[in-house]
Structure 1
Amino acid sequence: MSFARWKRIHKPVWHSDIPEAPLPAKVRKRHQWLHQHIAYDQWRIRHTRSKAAKRRLRRLIAGHRREIARIHAAYAAPASSSPGSTSTGSASTAVIPPPQPNAPEAGFAFFQHGVASGDPLPDRVVIWTRVTPAADATPASGLGPSATVLWHVALDAGFTSMVGSGSFVTTADRDHTVKLDVTGLSAATTYFYRFVFQGPWRDAQVSPVGRTRTTVAADATPAGLRLGVVSCANAQAGWFSAYRHLAARDDLDVVVHLGDYLYEYAPGAYGNGYAQTDIRSHEPPEQATTLRGYRLRHAQYKRDADLAALHVRYPFITTWDDHEFADNAWRDGTTGDSADAITDWAATKAAAQRAYDEWMPIRLEGTVALGDGSTIYRRFRFGQLAELTMLDLRSYRDEQVATPTSAEVNDADRTITGADQMSFLRDGLSVTAPQWRLVGNPVMMAPLQVTSLPQSVRDLLDSLGGGAYLPETQGLNTDQWDGYTHDRSLVLDHIVDQGVRDVVFITGDIHTSWAIEVPYPVTDTLTYGLMGSTAGVEFVCPSVTSNNIKDAVPGDPTSAANLAAGTTAAAAVRAANPQIKYLDFNNHGYLVVDVTPARVQSDWWFISDRADPRATVAWGQSWATSTGTGLVHQLTEPVA
């Protein structure tokens, strides 16, 4: 079929993919011709059997796209910092191409995985989406055409006050994800963003509208900062109601995710409660160990309505823990439950990192470019009030010790941070830093003494999985800082020796809720309160869904017997560890951390039942640390 006849029959509609940019008439006509011929040649590929003809048509399409790229380079605004993206600083109203209800793709959703933003700074923020440009372009398929996605950023949800727009070309090589740094923004400002994709038949669809916010200027003195804090969200163990209730709030600046954003397990492994029941099964139906597997797992989690709602509402600051890779991961392998399925750790680690970089609104190595590095530890400043240091406690650590004698766990040649990250952490813990030094800490910093506990309680602690590993002969958790005490001493000695005050470790991983005074020196925790002082405090958030102590007991996790087991175990642990002031082993939910010059307050919020997609939420307890004290005290109500 000739192009003219094809055009008469199919009536393709064209709209410029160079937003807000005027084109000379001849260039505009050529630009339109190129786009229409790409659609025409793609149609011919689908309707020819000749392999040689298909190859010739693909070469033609590649040539058309190169010419389009040259037009973009000549007439679009200067490129943004993200590869494949062009942007403009126009403040005009965004124009969205009108829908074509008779187009073949009408009714097909291009944006199936939501939108997200992250890593906010005073002048920029990362925005993210994934486009499905064709029915076969499913996640991890490696199929589907390249797609030019438009993006808009505005001061209002109606996009009448535009501050930036541009286009981003994505392909199957990056799983059709779109991630770019929107720059030139104002500090401490709320923005709205969206994406637009025009299908091969020029039917335009608009993504959900996301809301994000930049941080305050470095020299600002904000009255407060409020964080939503989450970790350990296992889809097989329950519904993400905690995300839904956190998204319903309208008082947060940012959401901090401390790791285990997803889980690698196959269906039937590590589900809900003692019976390990899958509330919903993982995709693909095997453990994620390859790029395909991790991409599909990210795609499944991004389709969760509660997680999507939270991403729409707030920017995220994230780090990874072990389950983004494999249970109990360390630098060169894993010692956990998922180790047997892995035959090539280097390939598995690289695949997990690549998928994370593609699918998360984050800068690795300080940029949004894919494949330029894997450094995820970084710092965020909130004026003179606070600074948040996010750690990576998986990529550089030595293997967890199997028999933790004191000589092994305190070996100066073993590390949990690696030398460079240790220097980075200590540099941030300085007397010249902003007032509150917050540390996004994936695994628990404070010591945990368990040798004096009854064996029944130690068995329950052993069940935490992914966070705790407590054989009968073990008096500490070697997956946490307890297994790397030389590195812990480097951190705590530095804090005390340098006179650094107001250090708060905000921690995930262990699926339970804790308020702790970090003792110094760390010797025998049983003497805490009688001698020594503190090097800071630690607040640990509960899991979103992953099993905790009550879930390790046979029976219904919500039964009175199971709840009593968790309560008994918490009381025993507190009695053996006087530095632990609050401990809850029964609940799932999230933490709200509120920072003012006078104090840091943490509110624990718990959902009614993770197995119920309509679970309610209720306030649990609130604890705070006042400036200069290094101690925690209980409060009678959450922040307003």
Structure 2
Amino acid sequence: MMSDQPSGPNVDRASTSRRTFLRTGAVVTGAAALPVVAGTASAVPVGTSVFAHGVASGDPLPDGVILWTRVTPTPSARPGSGLGPATGVTWEVARDGSFAAIVASGAVTTSAGTDHTVKVDVTGLGANTRYAYRFRVTSGPAVGTVSPVGYTRTAPAPNADVSRVRFGVVSCSNWEAGYFGAYRHLRAHRDLTAIVHLGDYFYEYESGGYTGKSGVVRPVSPTNETITLRDYRMRHAQYKTDPDLAELHRTLPWICTWDDHESANDSWKGGAENHDASEGPWAARKAASEKAYYEWMPVRPAAGRTGRHLYRRLGFGRLLELSMLDLRTYRDQQVSPTSRGVDDPARSITGTAQMNWLTDSLTSSTTRWRIVGNPVMISPVLVPPLDERNAAALTEVLGLPRQGVPYNADQWDGYTADRSRLLEAIRRNDVDNVVFITGDIHSSWACDIPVDPARYPAAGTVATELVVPSVTSSNVDDILEVPEHTVGNAVPAAIMTANRHVRWNDFDAHGYAVLTVTPSAAQMDWYFVNEKTDPRTGRYHARSFRVAAGSQRVQAVSQPTD
């Protein structure tokens, strides 16, 4: 479909998208894309027909956790239908799966007004404790039906000396582009504390709208692009029927934020690349996507002066704080990467309130580590990095960004004033051990975040960034329709030659990562799946990078922490 094209000399929506960025990487290899071929497959529903969408938990606190499920009280009460009677549901939390020792319980009523979802913020639990939970229908046609048993874990107490926290880290899971083998393999890792999803939990496109060389592996529902509340509810519901996704939700708490595809591609506070006037007001579409997200995801939005918001902070003893960002709801519109608008101090990716909250969080934290769940890359990726002082005459005459032209202005590279504010606050306050964990770009990266990219490493580093690949969403080899790690191997060398603070990247593979944090180091282990279109795909350890406490540098290591 056609997009709304804004006016103004600095606006170039198409140039900002991750698809354009990946195609830019493909151009580096000198290859061309080939046609897409479609195929079909479908997932097997989980649980009973009444609890067909499983159970989930999220946002663990030392004394509580969010519990979630969805009830289908009658066959007609399908997600998004607006049909079905109000239904009573009880919930129970116990020490183990036998439910011999129930420690918390309660009752709620759900209805079509919340798409028959159930979300409970349980409190009064013990810190750093594993619990079992379940739901039971207490009224209506499905009375007596019991959900699958889920398992969750609370966070350590704020003053606890924690020796290790382990997060599974994922991003960008496109239903049509393949199977979620990454979720299945994550379950095999020992002692995971939680799963961190950094955005693009689902994709809004119509069937066939964004698949790459795999074509349509399994069609989405609805087949049209998600625009209305009904559409978003149906798409959320379909994802929850994936058996690997459902099982990972059932066995571990998740900590999630959204990026753009939970609403529409390259979204900003006033619109999106993938939205035009024929689809109605952007505000209505955004509100529908948010309502469905809060209904269907086990998240606990924070309360603010202007209402609830998704950016929030969770603590894990004295070891770390995890700050989850929302980089879509408050950002200004993207501009062309070749324009001086990139450096405009009036433009923001976070919005003022979130930036103040984030800088206060990082500078006041007393934990050993400060981990930032960051939907889009913050490390500069420039062609090439320029010394601002020596290049000023050239950039002024040509109207170019002062530090060099970014590959992708949809990232923090398109909002350099905000990035400078944040990094300067970290540097000025002598804050160490800040690690950004990032999704969005469908590729894997390990980066030092430099004080000045043109004078790296002499000018020093402020923090580090570890970027996870997509679960299934298209990357360079998919776009070019070539075998993995063939022509795409030329991209990392080109990136790292121009940007020396980028210590490693991979543009082809799909998978996930495991972040292990101890008092002495934070280590990211990347695991890639063999074939995303195979529902039983294997996986392999790809790379590992370690950030030693106090170093603000990434260092390659040979072995994962498992």
Q: CA deviation at 1:635?
A: 0.9
Return the letter of the residue paired with 2:479.
A
Q: Deviations over 1:484-513 (max 9, x none)?
A: 000000000111111111110000000111
Q: Deviations over 1:297-347 (max 9, x none)?
A: 000001111100110111001000000000000001012x45576331000
* Equivalent in 375, 381, 392 of residue 315 of structure 2: 381
Q: Is the 8 A contact 1:404 1:483 kept in 2?
A: no
Q: Is the 8 A contact 1:516 1:538 kept in 2?
A: yes
CA RMSD of aligned residues (A): 1.8
Aligned to 1:57: none
Q: CA deviation at 1:373?
A: 3.9
Q: CA deviation at 1:430?
A: 1.5
1:218 pairs with 2:158: yes
Aligned length: 497
* Equivalent in 329, 332, 346 of residue 413 of structure 1: 346
1:499 pairs with 2:430: yes
Q: Is the 8 A contact 1:118 1:361 kept in 2?
A: yes
Q: CA deviation at 1:403?
A: 5.1
* Equivalent in 255, 258, 270 of residue 320 of structure 1: 258
After superposition, the Cα gap between the structure-2 partners of 1:498 and 1:280, relative to the gap in structure 1 and judged at 3 Å, is: same
Gaps of 5+ in 1: 1-106, 453-472
After superposition, the Cα gap between the structure-2 partners of 1:403 and 1:340, relative to the gap in structure 1 and judged at 3 Å, is: farther
Q: Secondary structure at the match of 1:620?
A: strand
Q: Is the 8 A contact 2:445 2:467 kept in 1?
A: yes
Q: Deviations over 1:70-91 (max 9, x none)?
A: xxxxxxxxxxxxxxxxxxxxxx
Return the letter of the residue paired with 2:327.
L
With CA pairs under 8 Å and 6+ residues apart, which has the higher RCO, 1 or 2? 2
Aligned to 1:261: 201
1:604 pairs with 2:532: no
Q: Is the 8 A contact 1:608 1:617 kept in 2?
A: yes
* Residue pairs, 1:127-276, within 5 angstroms: 127-198=67-138, 200=140, 203-273=143-213
Q: CA deviation at 1:364?
A: 1.8
TM-score scaled by structure 2?
Answer: 0.86
Return the letter of the residue paired with 1:302.
K
Aligned to 2:366: 433
1:509 pairs with 2:440: yes
Q: Secondary structure at the match of 1:622?
A: strand
Q: Is the 8 A contact 1:153 1:194 kept in 2?
A: yes
* Residue pairs, 1:544-555, within 5 angstroms: 544-555=471-482
Q: Is the 8 A contact 2:520 2:549 kept in 1?
A: yes
* Equivalent in 181, 201, 218 of residue 280 of structure 1: 218
Return the letter of the residue paired with 1:206.
V
Q: Deviations over 1:102-132 (max 9, x none)?
A: xxxxx97211100000010001100000000
Q: Is the 8 A contact 2:194 2:255 kept in 1?
A: yes
Q: Is the 8 A contact 2:337 2:408 kept in 1?
A: no
* Residue pairs, 1:12-161, within 5 angstroms: 109-161=49-101
1:357 pairs with 2:294: yes
Return the letter of the residue paired with 2:87.
A
CA–CA distance in structure 1, aligned partners of residues 226 and 537 of structure 2: 29
TM-score scaled by structure 1?
Answer: 0.75
CA–CA distance in structure 1, aligned partners of residues 137 and 61 of structure 2: 27
Q: Secondary structure at the match of 1:150?
A: strand
* Equivalent in 518, 521, 537 of residue 452 of structure 2: 521
CA–CA distance in structure 2, aligned partners of residues 155 and 412 of structure 1: 52
Greater Cα shift, 248-257 or 168-177 = 248-257
Return the letter of the residue paired with 1:528.
Y
CA–CA distance in structure 2, aligned partners of residues 151 and 539 of structure 1: 38
Gaps of 5+ in 2: 1-46, 386-403
Q: Deviations over 1:151-173 (max 9, x none)?
A: 11001111111101121100011
Q: Is the 8 A contact 2:212 2:481 kept in 1?
A: no
Q: Is the 8 A contact 1:353 1:374 kept in 2?
A: no
Return the letter of the residue paired with 2:505.
L
Return the letter of the residue paired with 1:438.
I
Aligned to 2:284: 347
CA–CA distance in structure 2, aligned partners of residues 637 and 475 of structure 1: 33
Return the letter of the residue paired with 2:447.
I
1:578 pairs with 2:500: yes
Q: Deviations over 1:615-638 (max 9, x none)?
A: 111111110010111111111110
Return the letter of the residue paired with 1:511.
H
Identity percentage of aligned residues: 48
Greater Cα radius of gyration, structure 1 or 2: 1
After superposition, the Cα gap between the structure-2 partners of 1:449 and 1:366, relative to the gap in structure 1 and judged at 3 Å, is: same
CA–CA distance in structure 2, aligned partners of residues 208 and 226 of structure 1: 25
Return the letter of the residue paired with 2:559.
E
Q: Is the 8 A contact 2:321 2:365 kept in 1?
A: no
Q: Is the 8 A contact 2:88 2:139 kept in 1?
A: no
Aligned to 1:628: 550
Q: Is the 8 A contact 1:230 1:544 kept in 2?
A: yes
CA–CA distance in structure 2, aligned partners of residues 310 and 438 of structure 1: 22
Q: Secondary structure at the match of 1:208?
A: coil
CA–CA distance in structure 2, aligned partners of residues 202 and 225 of structure 1: 40
Q: Deviations over 1:556-579 (max 9, x none)?
A: xxx2xx522111111111111110
